[in-house]
Amino acid sequence: MSRPLWLEVVHKVERTIGEPVESAVRSDTYFDVVARVTRARRKGINLVEGVSRRCLHLVNLPAGTDLRRVREQLGRIERRLDEITDELAGG
Amino acid sequence: MAPPFVPADLIGRVTRDVERSALRARNGVRYVRGTHRPKLGVTPKDVVWRRGRAQLWRYRGGPVRHGPPVVIVHSLVSRSYILDLRPGTSTIEYLLGAGLDVFMLDWGVPDERDADNTLETYVDGHLPRALAAVRRETGATEVTLAGYCLGGIMAMLYAAGPNGSDVRNLVLMATPIDFDAMGPMVAALREGRLEVEDLLDETGNVPADALYSGFYMLAPTTEIAQKATLLEHLWNDEFVEAYQAMGQWTRDHVPFPGAAFRQVVQQLVRENVLTTGAIRLGDRVVRLGDVRAEVLVAMAERDGVVPAGATEPALGLVGDPRRRHALYLPGGHVTFGAGKAARRHTMPRLTQWITSHSDARPDPEEAGCKSAASSPQTSPPSNGSWRGSPSTIGPS
């Protein structure tokens, strides 16, 4: 079944806008901007996390970064336990 | 000449349009409210093995008429329910209906505990153990190993490794080999316009939203056309459900473990080592030509994520040249699990290839067993007698 006229128009308009947008997001400039924005975002997050960490540590509470570190350590312990389990099963 | 005016036709068209408008209004409200979302990945399954976030599922089906069991290795960046999207349009359901014993190796949702996971963690650590669990569960000595997207790379590296002799058939679905033929995001990583460290978050992984943005930005305006098409078909419950299911999967990515991402970018993207037919994995070199299995390279002709050109080199590199088979499918990257092309082409042809390279088991119905499985739309030969020639299975 053919598409109604209004839908044909929407699809044509979308392609008219879409093609230049797609070529723009494949350009060097776009990826430079993405990289800069990502770095700026990370700096911002680090800044906010640093402040909140100090505040939380002042009242003797763990911050998100502390929890993350604990989870990373748990991951390492988990992997080591898996290795030991395999060694025991193999032996 | 214009057709003669028939009042009954006009009344019929008006009645149909009124009915559709009412259905559009009802479905529109449901869509906006977010109610009546389809349930995804609902084929019953049991967890038969787990390690960390990874789990091996065994799907519950009817009688098994073909062996060895099929183990699907999913990608590291997307959700595995794409292969079990909705009842009636599920690749898993189709394989079960054809009498195959189906397992899925799902990597779960990585977090900071997985940031150190490398390709070796998956290929040398998780995969052999998951396959050992399959052997324990089924008693089979061999498997059909099928990998989707990056999962195909892991399946291939396993099959080419020291334990790979237990892989009878290797199915590579949209598996990239030539990363120079991949899209603009990969090109940006290759050319150093994007650095790995730019993409990692505080957990040490590439966050799911960065992956979603990367795929979304390949064609950022297509959503307008998609929404307009939805509006036109809003009266159609089936269309709305399929649209919602696909939309949910498209937005639902998982973080990419940081260490594995570094490895992928360095070895696969920048050095493009898979095109040389060998890759260093840990302290050994894996040669793709060492795969001993029958190999099916399945690719979608309109795949914008992993173009067929990125997958095709597998036909010259993986396994024995006499045991390589190509399957060209209409559709895009998701044709392996969703869409009309999946139902009409992918599911029947993929299943047929697998069953024809499997052994037939005694018909359980004859043995007095009762089938609990739903039948697929078309059934492949159940006696396993069909043998495809070791050549290209072209589009029909």
Helix spans in chain B (H): 7-33, 91-97, 119-120, 127-138, 150-159, 184-190, 196-199, 208-216, 222-232, 237-251, 258-263, 308-311, 314-317, 340-341, 347-356
Cβ-Cβ contacts under 8 Å between A and B: the total is 82
* C-alpha span between B362 and B90 (Å, rounded): 26
| Structural domain of B166 | 45-360
> What angle do helix axes B222-232 and A5-24 make, rounded to 10 degrees?
160
* pLDDT of amino acid B388: 33
CA distance A44 to chain B (A): 12
Give a yes or no: residue B276 inside a domain: yes
How wide is the angle at C-alpha B246 spanned by C-alphas B241 and B248, nearest 5°? 95
Q: Which of A21, A28, A78 sits opposite B52 (nearest CB)?
A: A78
CATH number of the domain to which B291 belongs: 3.40.50.1820
Q: What is the pLDDT of residues B212-245, one digit of tens each?
A: 888 888 888 989 999 999 999 999 998 999 999 9
- Give yes or no for a contact between B117 and B73, defined as CB atoms under 8 angstroms apart: no
- Span B177-201, average pLDDT: 88
Q: What is the pLDDT of residues B370-392, one digit of tens each?
A: 333 433 433 333 333 333 333 34
* ipTM score assigned to the predicted complex: 0.78
CA distance A61 to chain B (A): 20
Tokens of A13: 């308009």
* C-alpha span between B191 and B39 (Å, rounded): 41
* pLDDT of amino acid A78: 86
Higher pLDDT, B313 or A89: B313
pLDDT, averaged across chain B: 88
* C-alpha span between B225 and B309 (Å, rounded): 27
Give a yes or no: residue B368 inside a domain: no
> Has residue B9 got a pLDDT over 60?
yes
Q: What is the pLDDT of residues B306-361, one digit of tens each?
A: 999 999 999 999 999 999 999 999 988 988 888 778 888 999 999 999 999 999 98
B16 CB within 8 Å of a chain A CB = no
Give a yes or no: residue B228 inside a domain: yes
Number of structural domains found in chain B: 1
Q: What is the pLDDT of residues B101-148, one digit of tens each?
A: 999 999 999 998 899 999 999 999 999 999 999 999 999 999 999 999
CA nearest neighbour of B171 among B336, B341, B377: B336
- Give yes or no for a contact between B342 and B331, defined as CB atoms under 8 angstroms apart: yes
Global pTM value: 0.85
Which residues of chain B neighbour A32 with C-beta distances below 8 Å? Answer: 193
Give a yes or no: residue B172 inside a domain: yes
The dihedrals phi and psi of B14, each to the nearest 5 degrees, come to -65, -45
* pLDDT of amino acid B356: 96
Give a yes or no: residue B23 inside a domain: no
CA distance B114 to chain A (A): 7
Q: What is the pLDDT of residues A46-84, one digit of tens each?
A: 899 899 999 999 999 999 889 888 988 888 888 888 889
Indicate yes or no: CB of B116 within 8 angstroms of CB of A71.
Answer: no
Residue A30, classed as helix, strand or coil, is helix
Give a yes or no: residue B188 inside a domain: yes
Q: Which of B116, B199, B218 sits opposite A38 (nearest CB)?
A: B199
